[in-house]
Structure 1
């Protein structure tokens, strides 16, 4: 189903799914991925396990760049993953530079916690003392921007 965007660029993927695997892979994200693919929507989901301390793979960055839409599933431990935060930084960069759409899903988290980095998101940042200030500032800006987007807030199995 991937098609041309507003320019002559040919998108490889309709949707890029960004999520914290240990929070949502075996439940919400699995169901979302299945529903999207059943509808014929070409969806990229990183199925590989991530080794601690590894950097984001160039192929994953390429998949983000080649996706028309990114669906970001913010969950309780999302910000505890440097990998997820690096993905989000790239997603928001592509949104600004290429006009890609970003659709946030706030899965059992308050959108204001994402936007303001409070709650579990604030706790995660308190542990990033060994990360460069530039990188932390990019992550915070990406969370603030994405947390301010209109999306879906899922609490107790219901969209609110």
Structure 2
């Protein structure tokens, strides 16, 4: 009996196991940090963007490559997620990679609000639609939010300890072909 690591089972060579998408101001020091550290301790190769972005900066090509090179994406959707054009561009790119596993975390937000871009997301989309330089990206971002909001994920608020979330993702990754066993 042999096992094949998660990074090799989806039919493509992946250099990363998980791409972590999150709004740093909301989650970097809490849920994102705990999840990242827990996965890293278990030898899951995780990409987490730690570089601060300036307003108006375009998404870095290396970040897009990291999305391409990841087997799965964990998207932590928080109240300020749509405030970042960078996060929305990441999300759209993640959703374009149809063969990739997407595991959403609805952190202090309702999945239906993500799916329908209700508050707290609606105000940001209204602003983006009025900006000529990015208005053409808004339908793609809306589509990505709708898609991810429709995926069964994990709803978490401050009442639940973070370690529950970590184990949820470990089990999700294992259940979704984390290891194929062949004879």
TM-score by length of 1: 0.92
| Aligned equivalent of 2:153 | 151
Alpha-carbon shift at residue 4 of structure 1 (Å): 1.4
Looking at structure 1, the residues matched to 67 and 39 of structure 2 have their Cα atoms a distance apart, in angstroms, of 17
**Which structure has the larger Rg?**
2
The secondary structure found in structure 2 opposite 1:3 is helix
1:76-134 superposed Cα distances (whole Å, 9 cap, x missing partner): 0000100000000000001x2xx100000000000011000001111111211105443
Structure 1: gaps (5+ residues): none
Asked if the contact 1:2–1:11 (Cα under 8 Å) also holds between the matched residues in 2, the reply is: no
Q: Which of 63, 68, 72 does residue 65 from structure 1 map onto?
A: 68
Alpha-carbon shift at residue 11 of structure 1 (Å): 0.5
| Aligned equivalent of 1:41 | 44
| Aligned equivalent of 1:6 | 10
The secondary structure found in structure 2 opposite 1:156 is coil
- What are the equivalent positions in structure 2 for 1:125-140 lying under 5 Å apart? 125-128=125-128, 129-130=130-131, 131-140=133-142
The secondary structure found in structure 2 opposite 1:102 is strand
- The question of 1:78 aligning with 2:94 is answered no
Structure 2: gaps (5+ residues): 165-183
Higher RCO, 1 vs 2 (CA within 8 Å, ≥6 residues apart): 2
In angstroms, what is the RMSD of aligned CA positions? 1.6
Looking at structure 1, the residues matched to 59 and 143 of structure 2 have their Cα atoms a distance apart, in angstroms, of 19
Alpha-carbon shift at residue 2 of structure 1 (Å): 6.0
Alpha-carbon shift at residue 3 of structure 1 (Å): 2.8
Looking at structure 2, the residues matched to 115 and 68 of structure 1 have their Cα atoms a distance apart, in angstroms, of 24
Q: How many residues get paired? A: 156
| Aligned equivalent of 1:141 | 143
Q: Which of 38, 47, 55 does residue 58 from structure 2 map onto?
A: 55
TM-score by length of 2: 0.81
Moved over 3 A (4+): none
Looking at structure 1, the residues matched to 67 and 21 of structure 2 have their Cα atoms a distance apart, in angstroms, of 9
